[in-house]
Amino acid sequence: MISAFLNYDFLQHALWTGVMVGFLAPVIGVFIVVRRLALITDALSHITLTGIAFHLLLAQTFTFLQLYNPLYMGMGFAVVSSLLIEKLRRLYTAYQELSVPIMLSTGIGLGVVFISLADGFNNDLFQYLFGSIIAVTEEDFLAISALTVIVTGLLLLFYKELMFLSFDEEQAKVNGIAGRSINTMFIIMTALVIASSMKVVGILLVSSLMTLPVAAAVQLSKSFKQMFFYAVMIGECSVITGMLTAFYLDVSSGGMIVMTSLFILLIVLGFRKAAGMPARLLKRREPSAEFE
């Protein structure tokens, strides 16, 4: 089955792009989930759609724009709004999550205006909403390859600092960690990963690829490092299974990927329950042995 899949050049691009997205999205997702900012991915993905719609609208008047990939405009929008989110997050320290609905509504509002100005939905936009592996071009493939190398490198180099900031931002700053610049770098990476996952999983579903594998990994891991291992394993399983089934069943790849990761999450939850370790037991406190 897979060998037939690999006979088509365009499907190979799609598959390798999917494998990269299946790695990037959960890895970034681990940091986002532990920071309790899972919904940020939704805000950023909607803003990406706004950028894409803006590009398609402009391209109607400035035809030379049709030569360019609208994804870049989406990435631009996502990066700018990620910086705004970071700014809002500092403004509302006690209600950090408020930054998310503010950007989410901005994104949807603007997006709807652009789409209606461009005379409604066309086929292109539909691909971005739900993802389509057939739509992955060689250019997308190359752009995402470059992004994978950069993001992986940065995450390895700044792993310590990102972990500390996610665990306890204030303490990390007291220890002299440059919180502001590292947070900014991280949110930009998040925006870029979200924008580039668009073709494979679609705007409405990017956030699920960033959160569902992590939700399952939380149940399985004993340490922070293990979270990455499990999240990536589950992410890759979901992407590969989802893409293959989507191709053979001729349905949307994004939908199949999300259904697979949801299925894995349910198995993990069921497995934990069967093993007599329901999730809430993780929270149980040890009998206290204080400063003895």
Residues that bind other proteins (CB under 8 A): 34, 36, 157-158, 160-161, 163-164, 166-178, 218, 221-227, 282-292
Q: How far is the CB of 144 from other proteins (least distance, A)?
A: 25
To other proteins, the closest distance from the beta carbon of 190 in angstroms equals 19
Nearer to other proteins by Cβ, of 146 and 157: the residue is: 157
Residue among 4 and 279 whose Cβ is closer to other proteins: 279
CB of residue 167 vs other proteins: minimum separation in angstroms? 6
Rank residues 28 and 239 by Cβ distance to other proteins and give the closer one.
Answer: 28
Nearer to other proteins, 119 or 292 (CB): 292
Q: Which is nearer to other proteins, 63 or 283 (CB)?
A: 283
Closer to other proteins at the Cβ: 9 or 292? 292
Q: How far is the CB of 140 from other proteins (least distance, A)?
A: 31
**Minimal distance, residue 177 CB to other proteins, in Å:** 6
Burial 194-226 (b: 16+ CB within 10 A, else e): bbbbbbbbbbbbbbbbbbbbbbbbbbbbeeeee
In whole angstroms, how close is the CB of 35 to other proteins at the nearest point?
8
Residue (91 or 282) nearer to other proteins, CB: 282
Residue 91 beta carbon to other proteins: minimum distance, rounded to whole angstroms: 16
Distance CA 141, CA 127 (A): 16
Residue with tokens 């990963």, as numbered in its chain: 193
